[in-house]
Amino acid sequence: MKEMFLSWWDLVVRYRKTLLAIGAVVLGILVLFNGAFFVAAYFPKSCVVCHYMDPFYDQWKTSRHADVSCIKCHSFSPLFITVTTLKYWTGLYNPRPHANVPDKQCLSSDCHEGRIEQGKAKLGAITFDHQEHMTKLKRGEQLRCTTCHYSIVQGEHIAVDTNVCFLCHFKGISQGQALGGCPGCHGTPKKTVDHSGFTFSHDSYLEIGVQCKQCHLRVAEGDGRVDERHCFDCHVGRLKGKSDPLALHRTHVTYNAIKCLKCHEKIRHGEVELVKTFEVQCDSCHKRLHNYQKEMYMGAGARGVADTPS
């Protein structure tokens, strides 16, 4: 072994000028190659030359972010380009790449700075609090901007996918209920409602403490389960430590901003099952308020009084 090492070292010393020249040429090519790529990255059209991403480019071009270059959100350093180039040349690159947008890019001074501190925003009829979701752990995990903002729809490049909201708020929760409660998103219903020929206002029911689930029997459909076959959409080899949910979510959600629905099945939210007015019974709301009266009419006995059924 020692003789082999000395032999190799002797060759290196003997041809050091040639090796240095070759190294300088390779380094120069890398610098020029990566410099060209780094400059080209500021022109979004150049991305589709190498990447299969025409749908994403087309959606970006017609979105509100059309004046923002790709590299502004999908930032990377010259060192990253060098490493990626070497991986490509050696065949060690990931065949299933994943785009990542760090929160600091979204919240930079010339973009959405202060969005979290501004707090509540409206998404249709839903009130959403950025500060509540981004400054506190949710289900033990730190959410990212792209946890919710990632959907590619017409006219939007990173729209909110409400299916993510439903997954978090309804997974593992009892029927007719939601994590954080219904008013947390929907507020207190104000308008008059017509249901099965019955017109009513929510206010009178809420004033006497009627809970949403007493009428809205089921508001979600699906369990948000994870089919392990989804794991192999990204992971080629054997998986380890897959039984620890906290570690899985920390790696995938917090560190890499993987879409929740990449692994989880959807949960549908809506008026899945409502109470039917023609089935209304007193004890559906007024439970156990007249037990003694019922027993009396049934002829049930009491202390010193025998049963006298009617």
pTM, full prediction? 0.69
∠ Cα 141 145 149 (to 5°): 115
Give the 3-state secondary structure of residue 118. Answer: helix
Q: Identify the band that residue 239 occupies on the pLDDT scale cut at 50, 70 and 90.
A: low
Q: How far is CA 20 from CA 12, 85, 145, 250, in A?
A: 10, 21, 47, 45
pLDDT digits (tens, 9 = 90+) for 28-44: 887 787 777 777 778 88
CA–CA separation, 296 and 293 (whole Å): 5
CA–CA separation, 15 and 160 (whole Å): 60
Does residue 28 contact residue 53 with C-beta atoms inside 8 Å? no
For residue 72, what are its two tokens?
């502004």
For residue 189, what are its two tokens?
């219903």
Instruction: Report which residue type is found at 59.
Output: Q
206 vs 308, residue with greater confidence:
206
Q: Identify the band that residue 120 occupies on the pLDDT scale cut at 50, 70 and 90.
A: confident
CA–CA separation, 251 and 255 (whole Å): 5
Instruction: State the number of CA atoms in the 13 A half-sphere of 165 facing the CB.
Output: 21
Instruction: Tell me the sheet residues that pair with 133.
Output: none
Instruction: Report which residue type is found at 301.
Output: G
Determine what percent of the chain is predicted with pLDDT higher than 90.
Answer: 4
Instruction: Tell me the sheet residues that pair with 120.
Output: 129
For residue 38, what are its two tokens?
């780094």
10 vs 242, residue with greater confidence:
10
Is it the case that residue 241 has pLDDT exceeding 60? no
For residue 166, what are its two tokens?
């439903």
CA–CA separation, 151 and 52 (whole Å): 18
Select the highest-mean-pLDDT range: 14-23, 93-102, 168-177: 168-177
* Residue-wise DSSP of 78-93: HHHHHHHHHHHHHT-S
Measured on CA atoms in the order 237, 241, 242, 245, is the torsion positive or negative? negative
Measured on CA atoms in the order 286, 287, 289, 294, is the torsion positive or negative? positive
pLDDT digits (tens, 9 = 90+) for 211-234: 888 888 888 999 999 988 888 888
CA–CA separation, 95 and 246 (whole Å): 27
pLDDT at 283: 63
pLDDT digits (tens, 9 = 90+) for 70-84: 888 887 777 777 787
Dihedral (Cα; 179, 185, 189, 193), 10-degree rounding: -80
Does residue 203 contact residue 304 with C-beta atoms inside 8 Å? no
pLDDT at 278: 46
pLDDT at 48: 81
pLDDT digits (tens, 9 = 90+) for 259-310: 888 899 999 998 888 777 545 566 666 666 677 777 777 777 777 777 776 6
Instruction: Report which residue type is found at 122.
Output: K
Max Cα separation, the chain? 117
